[in-house]
Amino acid sequence: MAEPLESNSKITIHPAVFYRNISIPTNDVFQITVENNNEFPVQISTSTGEFTQDPKTLSNTVIGMDLFNNWFSETSKEIPANTTEKIEVKMDISENTTFEKASYFPTIILHVTAGENSEAVGTNFEYAIPVFLQSLEMIQPDLEIKKLDTEKLSIGQEIEIDTEIQNTGNTYTRPSAYLEFFEVNPLNKDNKTRINTITLNTDQITLLPESILIEKNTWERKSPGYYRAKLHVMIGNKEIDTESSDFWLISQAWLNSLYITAGILLGLIILFIITRKIKLGEKILGGIKRVTQRLFRRRNKK
């Protein structure tokens, strides 16, 4: 059993992400605050890397080192024990640069060094700070609803709604999206009443191109009925895509009373049929009896 985590000598950096619009040429400075809570000094040196995003888990991962050294300066600084200091990394995109893509995803790597390794296995650690860069002249932000799934009939007082929103543009974007629920007229499928909404992407995740925001939400409603879930996807305040799905929501209690009513009706029908059959049987038996009696009478007369 591991012991409880105590306050210990971590190094904290912030901000741990940057967003910038770039053009040719660009000069910019990234200021990173390093809090060294150790009892010893550490040496921080910087380099670059590239990051990407797993399109399904949305985890940012470092995929290469030293790929943007021509854009970012390298710097090094000693941070004394229990001290907070700022590190500056300069970005210089020269006039003779050609942007081949609308967006770039470098990382500023902060290497932490504290003393020389001399033993069998040396370990060290570093921070990768994602830098989201986009050229406003080239970007075409876009989002697409890949999935809006509900059951067509849900028994109970809630329904699960699966949604998938994909970044189909050529730059990063943080989608704003919400599900809007309506009561629907089942005959003409018109929206009758707007009921409420569920906000999506409350985690405020930034999607890289091709990444998919997958969410599962539950909508609750006590009244049985025919409803519509309408998904709105926006970039900023501009609606980019919308889709809807209609479904029946029938509560178990309502279904039970429906079963009971149907059972009673069925019972009444059966009772009616049985009664009719008994009367018919009686009529048939009566007829046979009458015919038999007549026959006996005729025979007796003879």
Partner 1 sequence: MRKTAYNFLATASLSLILGTFLAIFSSFSTKVVAQNLESDNYRIIDPSIDAGGNDDASSGTYNLLDSIGGSINDERFESSNYKLGTGIGYTFMANVPVVTYFQTDDSAMIALCGEGGCYNRAKFELDPENNPTETLYLVEISTDDWTTVQCIDGTTKEPKAISSKNINDYLTEATWEAEDFNLLGLASSTEYKIRLRALNGDFTESEPGPDATESTTDPSISFDINISGDTWASTSAPYEIDSWEITTVAPSTADDLIWLDMGTNAVAGAIIQVRDTNQGLLSSYTGESIDSISDDLSSVSEGFGLKVDTSKTLPATGQPGYFIEASTYDTAGAQEVGELYATPTIIFCTRPNSGDNCSTGTGEPISGARSGIWLKARAAPIRSAASDYTDQITFTAIGTF
Binding site for partner 1 (CB under 8 A): 1-5, 8-17, 33, 38-40, 42, 51, 53, 56-63, 107, 109, 113-130, 176-178, 180, 194, 196-197, 199, 202-206, 214, 232, 234, 237
Using the minimum distance from each CB to partner 1, give the nearer residue, 197 or 293.
197
Query: Shortest Cβ distance from residue 194 to partner 1 (Å)?
Result: 8
Using the minimum distance from each CB to partner 1, give the nearer residue, 67 or 250.
67
- The length of the chain, given as a count of residues: 302
Query: Shortest Cβ distance from residue 14 to partner 1 (Å)?
Result: 4
Query: Shortest Cβ distance from residue 125 to partner 1 (Å)?
Result: 5
Query: Shortest Cβ distance from residue 9 to partner 1 (Å)?
Result: 5
Using the minimum distance from each CB to partner 1, give the nearer residue, 96 or 202.
202
Contacts of 24 (CB under 8 A, 6+ apart): 93, 94, 95, 97, 98, 99
Q: Using CA atoms, how far apart are residues 199 and 161, in angstroms rounded to an integer?
A: 12
Query: Shortest Cβ distance from residue 184 to partner 1 (Å)?
Result: 19
Using the minimum distance from each CB to partner 1, give the nearer residue, 54 or 282.
54
Q: Using CA atoms, how far apart are residues 252 and 275, in angstroms rounded to an integer?
A: 34
Q: Using CA atoms, how far apart are residues 239 and 261, in angstroms rounded to an integer?
A: 46
Query: Shortest Cβ distance from residue 254 to partner 1 (Å)?
Result: 24
Tokens of residue 201, six digits: 């992407």
Using the minimum distance from each CB to partner 1, give the nearer residue, 56 or 290.
56
- Please report which helix (H) or strand (E) contains residue 259, including its range: helix 252-301
Q: Which residues of 83-102 are buried (b: 16+ CB within 10 A; e: fewer)?
A: eeeebebebebeeeeebeeb
Using the minimum distance from each CB to partner 1, give the nearer residue, 63 or 260.
63
Q: Using CA atoms, how far apart are residues 268 and 250, in angstroms rounded to an integer?
A: 25
Query: Shortest Cβ distance from residue 166 to partner 1 (Å)?
Result: 14
Closest to 30 in 3D by CA, of 15, 41, 43, 44: 15
Q: Using CA atoms, how far apart are residues 204 and 17, in angstroms rounded to an integer?
A: 14
Query: Shortest Cβ distance from residue 215 to partner 1 (Å)?
Result: 9
Q: Are 173 and 210 in contact (CB under 8 A)?
A: no
Q: Using CA atoms, how far apart are residues 101 and 169, in angstroms rounded to an integer?
A: 12
Using the minimum distance from each CB to partner 1, give the nearer residue, 184 or 235.
235
Beta bridge mates, 161: 217
Q: Are 69 and 7 in contact (CB under 8 A)?
A: no
Using the minimum distance from each CB to partner 1, give the nearer residue, 91 or 109.
109
